[in-house]
Amino acid sequence: MFPEAGPVFMEFKLGRKNPRDEALFWFNILKSGEASARDRQKFREWLEESPEHEKEFSKLSSLWDDFDSLAPYLKNRVPVSASPANRFAPARIAAVVAFLLAGILAVSYLQNPRVWFSDYSTAVGEQRQVLLADQSSLFLNTNSALSVHYDEAGRRIGLHLGQVNFSPKSDAARPFIVDTPHLQILTVGTNFDVVIQEGRERIILFEGALKIKSSEPGSGGRVPPLDLSAGQEIVFEDGALGRVRDVDPDRASAWHRGKLIFSDEPFQEALDEINRYHNTRFIVLNPELEKIRISGIFNIRDLDGILESLEHSFKVQSLQLGTFLVVLS
């Protein structure tokens, strides 16, 4: 078997040097039931190269709940044969991974049709600054799309999905209007965020004042007009506006600076927020993790740093399987 697997191993040796990926490679070789004596010798050599190799292989083995059959490699450096009852068939492993990857790729690359007709958009993990003709500034967060319509009567932005920070240039003669699927936000000059996510529309005002009213009749129910003041937010969901609430401006605007700030956030909600910025998806194997509350400041783009913080601060074990999957236990 080793000659067939050789090119993959050479790729690790020549450039990738990723202990997690290498551990996954060797795990599949040893669990296949077809590992040759040369395979096992090469595996032992790899294991001896670095403590990090043993750490990642041990973590992977325990996550698959099959540590006992492979533990002798870690302590005694003596090859053992896994029992047929405990051995994962390679086809089964491949099928599970293929199924999960197919779903992730579908979500990642099948865009909302409105994106096709937008004037400005961002991909997952991308942020983009846009300066319009009147010097109004727009800052698009991850996976966002909008259209722009300017004329002599006014300035109109249609936000289709995602999150945008708006800093319109003050012009009393031409109001600045942001349309969402259910709301209209009117202003002259101010600074605010609008978020469309999973059927919810959230408006966060940092400076100035806003007027909010319903979109055209039939778009989800009439919304009484209201005013929003600096330091306030409001959410539209289930056909109605919620209550106006005070907001922490520093936390709400953290993404402007490439940060995520969590304060006693439920574990799953924190993961969902992190997921917005990465095509990677998390698989939570241990239900006890749901009880964890997350607090801290994280770099949006540094997924490895986020995982390392979860491991060190909250005793969460993580295993990154290639580019798209992270297993947590």
Over residues 22-71, the pLDDT tens digits come to 777 777 677 656 667 777 888 888 888 888 888 878 776 665 543 344 44
Domain edges within the chain: 2-88, 113-247, 258-328
Over residues 98-151, the pLDDT tens digits come to 445 555 544 444 455 566 678 999 999 999 999 999 999 999 999 999 999 998
What are the CA-CA distances from residue 90 to residues 6, 31, 38, 53, 161 (Å)?
17, 7, 19, 22, 40
CA distance 219 to 311: 45
- Going by pLDDT thresholds of 50, 70 and 90, the confidence category of residue 220 is very low
Pick the CATH number of 113-247 from 1.10.3720.10, 2.30.40.10, 3.90.550.10, 2.60.120.1440: 2.60.120.1440
CA distance 126 to 255: 12
Q: In this predicted model, which residue has the larger pLDDT, 61 or 307?
A: 307
Phi/psi region, residue 21 (left: phi>0; alpha: psi -120 to 50; beta: rest), is alpha
Q: In this predicted model, which residue has the larger pLDDT, 232 or 152?
A: 232
pTM: 0.68
CA distance 319 to 329: 9
CATH topology classification for 258-328: Phage tail protein beta-alpha-beta fold (3.55.50)
Nearest of 279, 109, 276, 110 to residue 196 by alpha carbon: 276
Per-residue pLDDT, 177: 94
Can you tell me the mean pLDDT for 190-198?
94
Strand partners, 120: 146
CA–centroid distance for 213 within its chain: 32
CA distance 263 to 126: 24
Can you tell me the mean pLDDT for 244-269?
95
Residue 84 phi/psi, 5° resolution?
-60, -30
Strand partners, 204: 193, 233
Query: 186: Cβ–Cβ under 8 A, 6 or more apart, which residues?
Result: 175, 176, 177, 210, 211, 212, 213
